[in-house]
Amino acid sequence: MVGYAFMGAAHSTAWRTVNVAFDLPARARMALICGRDESKVAAAARKLGWDATTTDWREVVERDDIDVVDVCTPGDSHAEIAIAALAAGKHVLCEKPLANSVDEARAMVAAAAKAQANGIRSMCGFNYRRVPAVAMMRQLIASGRIGVIRHVRAVYLQDWIVDPQFPLVWRLQKDKAGSGALGDIGAHIIDLTQFVTGQKITGVSALTETFVKERPLSSESSGLAASSGNGDAPATGQVTVDDAALFLARLDGGAIATYEASRFAIGRKNGLRVEINGSLGSLVFDLERLNELEFYDSAAPTAEQGFNRILITEADHPYMAAWWPPGHIIGYEHSFTHEMRDFIEAIATGTDPTPSFLDALQVQLVLDAVARSAEQGTVWTDVEPALAEVAA
């Protein structure tokens, strides 16, 4: 695994537990973890359960005893590491969003297609697909329980950078993160809604905003050009990404949609909520109530109609047979364990895991269309088709 911070810890928890929870045709051994700071990566290895460490990701790619490379770095290094790993015959799991640009994502898709011909698998880590309630939502929609999809409403709200004195970390720098709230959390709701509805976004009209234009330099951003301070005022650097992104969208199955991603929604820590309205009913998922799904069935008698709460803990709910008796809830970390479960199973059985790099390219193309629309002042912007990109 390359990277050991937030996502590195989440992925490590999953790699440690996946073979305990699931009976799989292959077993994961946590061989090597990579990070730029030797002492920090050594501490992470001890804490997270990795056998060895390195400060050079090329060693991860070159070692003969490593079959899978898990990329948990900032977006600016995804393409280089993933492409090299695929060329070296390693299966690759890469965190979302796939890359920082469409061109990088295209190159990753091409590398994945070439590797696939030799039996090498790749997958992008949109972990919310693996929340059992989300998977159940997809099943209900696919079976026709809510009829023809009319409306999609999706929000992802956080508040961790509302303080103007919060430092200029890498997620606030375009050259490292690609975009701000749009790519960091907006990518999740784009993928999640397309996953559950089975429809792709075809066009958008968007706006973005950066509320705090400059922030104090952090240790990781100290190399940036700084504004001159007055007296004891700390040096600052420019925020080069969006703090919030909102857009309207059309989907290829006829649905219309609204999306909102913000890291300035005070009081919202990880507020992801998706509502799907169909001709026969509605479904609602709220990440802060991860084990629940709300279902409105218009076929019920009028006197019994209303949103019903389904507790997603039964053994016949997606993924849940591996865990606890009904009523015993699971948490955020389990979505990553389910992700590793599906990836290992695909590798061991020679099948293609999802979401593929091609799926992730399609999300990247939506992000690109949103950014272009916002730059032009909410101009309606078509999303380029991913398959056409690959064919070209």
Would residue 74 count as lying in a domain?
A: yes
Would residue 137 count as lying in a domain?
A: yes
What pLDDT shows up at residue 218?
A: 80
Q: Which residues neighbour 23 within 8 Å (Cβ) at sequence distance 6 or greater?
A: none
**Bond preceding residue 355 cis, omega within 30 of 0:** yes
Choose among 74, 67, 105: nearest CA to 88: 67
CATH number at residue 119: 3.40.50.720
Question: Are residues 106 and 165 part of one domain?
Answer: no
Interval 385-392 mean pLDDT: 60
Choose among 80, 112, 140, 116: nearest CA to 299: 140
Q: CA-based angle 107:110:112, to the nearest 5? A: 110
SS3 of 381, please? Answer: strand
Question: Are residues 181 and 142 part of one domain?
Answer: yes
Would residue 219 count as lying in a domain?
A: yes
Residue 102 CB neighbour total at 10 angstroms: 18
Give the end of a domain, one of 111, 127, 143: 127
The pLDDT tens digits for 251-297 are 999 999 999 999 999 999 999 999 999 999 999 999 999 999 999 99
Question: Are residues 96 and 201 part of one domain?
Answer: no
Cα–Cα distance measured from residue 42 to residue 37, given in angstroms and rounded to the nearest whole number: 8
Question: Are residues 136 and 122 part of one domain?
Answer: no
Cα–Cα distance measured from residue 129 to residue 280, given in angstroms and rounded to the nearest whole number: 24
What pLDDT shows up at residue 230?
A: 57
Residue 388 banded pLDDT, cuts 50, 70, 90: low
What pLDDT shows up at residue 120?
A: 98
What pLDDT shows up at residue 392?
A: 39
What single-letter DSSP state applies at residue 265?
-
Q: H-type helices in 23-149, by residue range? A: 38-48, 57-62, 78-87, 102-116, 132-142
* 290 within 8 A of 133, measured Cβ to Cβ: yes
SS3 of 25, please? Answer: coil
What pLDDT shows up at residue 232?
A: 66
* 369 within 8 A of 384, measured Cβ to Cβ: yes
What pLDDT shows up at residue 43?
A: 98
Question: Are residues 296 and 190 part of one domain?
Answer: yes
Q: Which two tokens stand for residue 84?
A: 């090299």
Question: Are residues 114 and 26 part of one domain?
Answer: yes
**Count of structural domains, the chain:** 2
SS3 of 50, please? Answer: coil
What pLDDT shows up at residue 319?
A: 98
Interval 17-43 mean pLDDT: 97
Question: Are residues 279 and 185 part of one domain?
Answer: yes
Residue 10 banded pLDDT, cuts 50, 70, 90: very high
β partners of residue 276? 152, 283
Lowest mean pLDDT of 144-148, 227-231, 251-255, 345-349, name the range: 227-231
CA 136 to chain centroid, in Å, comes to 19
E strand or H helix at 156 = strand 149-157
Interval 322-339 mean pLDDT: 98
Cα–Cα distance measured from residue 176 to residue 22, given in angstroms and rounded to the nearest whole number: 36
Residue range of the domain that includes 22: 6-127
Give the end of a domain, one of 67, 93, 127: 127
Would residue 228 count as lying in a domain?
A: yes
Cα–Cα distance measured from residue 199 to residue 359, given in angstroms and rounded to the nearest whole number: 12
The pLDDT tens digits for 360-369 are 999 999 999 9
pLDDT of residue 188 exceeding 70, the answer is yes
User: Percent of the chain, pLDDT > 70?
Assistant: 95
* 294 within 8 A of 307, measured Cβ to Cβ: yes
The pLDDT tens digits for 59-109 are 999 999 999 999 999 999 999 999 999 999 999 999 999 999 999 999 999
CATH number at residue 312: 3.30.360.10
Residue 224 banded pLDDT, cuts 50, 70, 90: low
Cα–Cα distance measured from residue 354 to residue 357, given in angstroms and rounded to the nearest whole number: 8
Question: Are residues 192 and 49 part of one domain?
Answer: no
Question: Are residues 226 and 140 part of one domain?
Answer: yes
Residue 225 banded pLDDT, cuts 50, 70, 90: low
Would residue 363 count as lying in a domain?
A: no
What pLDDT shows up at residue 387?
A: 78
Would residue 262 count as lying in a domain?
A: yes
Q: Which two tokens stand for residue 81?
A: 């590491």
- Residue type (1 letter), 162: V
Which three-class secondary structure string do you get for 302-367? HHHCCCEEEECCCCCCCCHHHCCCCCCCCCHHHHHHHHHHHHHHHHHHCCCCCCCHHHHHHHHHHH
β partners of residue 92? 69, 122
**Rounded mean pLDDT of the chain?**
95
Would residue 32 count as lying in a domain?
A: yes
Find tokens 């998706």 and name the residue.
274
Would residue 348 count as lying in a domain?
A: no
- End-to-end Cα distance, the chain: 32
Question: Are residues 84 and 40 part of one domain?
Answer: yes
Q: Which two tokens stand for residue 71?
A: 């990329």
DSSP string covering 197-253, please? H---EEEEEEEEE-S--EEEB-GGGTTS--BPP-TTPPPEEE--S-SEEEEEEEETT
Question: Are residues 313 and 252 part of one domain?
Answer: yes
pLDDT of residue 233 exceeding 90, the answer is no
Give the end of a domain, one of 276, 310, 330: 330
Question: Are residues 158 and 239 part of one domain?
Answer: yes
